Amino acid sequence: MFRGGCFFAAVAAEFDGRPGPVRDRIAEIMKEWLATLRNTIVEAQDAGQLAKGLDATQLAFEVNSLELGANWEFQLYGDQGSFARAREAIRERLARYATTAGAPLLSLTKTKTKQTRVRT
């Protein structure tokens, strides 16, 4: 994370209502990001780490929304805990759909998360 928060969240908010090539490119990049999230979820399903019945598009939307919400809270209020709360909320969603094979991976993620700090 950059000192000023997520660059793409900032420019997306700045240009979302302005037609033109800059807005179009930002929209393409954000679509690619959502597709990457969704594809990663599908890969985890294929690997037997997440439940097959999970709606990958919905979970990708939720993860992205939590990330954007954390960035907004960090930007507007300077809340240093925003990203940690978002990570925990994402981890909880993943835990809800984790299989027996995937659940141990989440505990590894939680351990790593405690060591991660936002640089300001």
Rounded CA separation 46/107 (Å): 20
Q: What pLDDT is stored for residue 108 in this prediction? A: 62
pLDDT tens per residue, range 54-106? 999 999 999 999 998 998 898 889 888 998 999 999 999 999 999 989 989 88
Query: In the numeric block, which tokens belong to residue 104?
Result: 């141990």
Give every CB contact of residue 83 below 8 A, 6+ residues apart in sequence.
1, 70, 74, 118
CATH pick for 7-115 out of 3.20.20.70, 1.10.357.10, 3.40.50.10490, 3.30.365.10 = 1.10.357.10
pLDDT tens per residue, range 30-48? 899 999 999 999 999 999 9
Rounded CA separation 106/1 (Å): 21
Q: Output the pTM of the full model.
A: 0.77
Q: What is the length of the chain?
A: 120
Q: What pLDDT is stored for residue 118 in this prediction? A: 44
Whether residue 20 has pLDDT greater than 90: no
Query: Per-domain residue ranges for the chain?
Result: 7-115
